[in-house]
Amino acid sequence: MNEPTHGEVALALPDDVAALAQLPADKGEVHLVHLYPREMSIYGDLGNTRCLAARLRWHGYRPVVHDHHPGAPWPERADLLLGGGGQDSGQARVTEDLERHADRLRELAADGLPMLMICGMYQLFGEAFITVEGQRLPGLGILDVTTRGNATRMIGPVVLDTDFGSVVGYENHSGSTVLGEGQQPFGRVRHGQGNNGSDGYEGARVGNVVASYLHGPILPANPALADGLLEIAARRATGDWVPGEIDDTVATRAHEAQVRRLLGS
């Protein structure tokens, strides 16, 4: 990976994405903020940031990626926020910093900033996480969800019906999440266990905040979801969304094959 250099297009991007710098990027800058990539990015969640940066390049926009670490100043600009999963120790290391920026994050969510929060960050954006031992850890309260730790993990491939079309991914979580009354889920489970293995829901959504347990990472296998988030971010950043033509043949075939394999249709 390239060394992050403030102000460069390829800030904190891998070489394969940075190599796209020769493509035209004259439709404006879109700033992506990855929250806690060291502490909260397991099971391939970093791939979501790489996917969005690459697709912005292909669409003709200039991606600027900010990695936000605990204790660091908040980036001057944010058009889309990403967060991933982590171990309990990782969640503990980001708690103080997350609380420091809690009001800002709530204001950005209420203002319609697009966000994608996966697994551990999904739980921290909820009302509370109650550990197996019964300790109640408060969340940001952006999502009306409550999570309890379980001794049994929910693991395996998932297919969802969502507002972005069918979504495929892989879940791996011990937390069991329950939606509050009136809380919109991210999707309905067609295969897999979802939030808790019993109510048929997966993830949660408030405005443009999308939260899910799906790793994989989720975005490369679901281009419609990736572009749905980018459209919101680009319109906020530049006033318009002018997508380029992207050949998603391979991603589409892989997506469809996974749906057929799991649903038999």
Question: Annotated catalytic residue: which of 66, 119, 173, 255?
Answer: 119
- By the 8 A CB rule, do 33 and 80 touch? yes
Residue count of the chain: 265
- Does 215 participate in catalysis according to the annotation? yes
- CA 146 to centroid of chain Cα atoms: 19
d(CA 238, CA 261): 40
Q: Could you tell me which residues are annotated as the binding site for substrate?
A: 153
Q: Could you tell me which residues are annotated as the binding site?
A: 153
Token pair 């972005």 in the structure block, residue = 164
- Does 51 participate in catalysis according to the annotation? no
Question: Annotated catalytic residue: which of 31, 68, 173, 215?
Answer: 215
The DSSP secondary structure of the chain, one letter per residue, reads: -PPP-TT-TTTT--HHHHGGGGS---S-EEEEEEE-TTTS--TTTHHHHHHHHHHHHHHT-EEEEEEE-TTSPPPS--SEEEE----HHHHHHHHHHHHHTHHHHHHHHHTT--EEEETHHHHHTSSEEE-TT--EEE---SS-EEEEEEEEEEEEEEEEEETTEEEEEEEEEEEEEEEPTTPBPSEEEEES-TTTSSSSEESEEETTEEEE-EES-TTTT-HHHHHHHHHHHHHHHHS---------HHHHHHHHHHHHHHH--
d(CA 32, CA 29): 10
> Which active-site residues does the annotation give?
119, 215
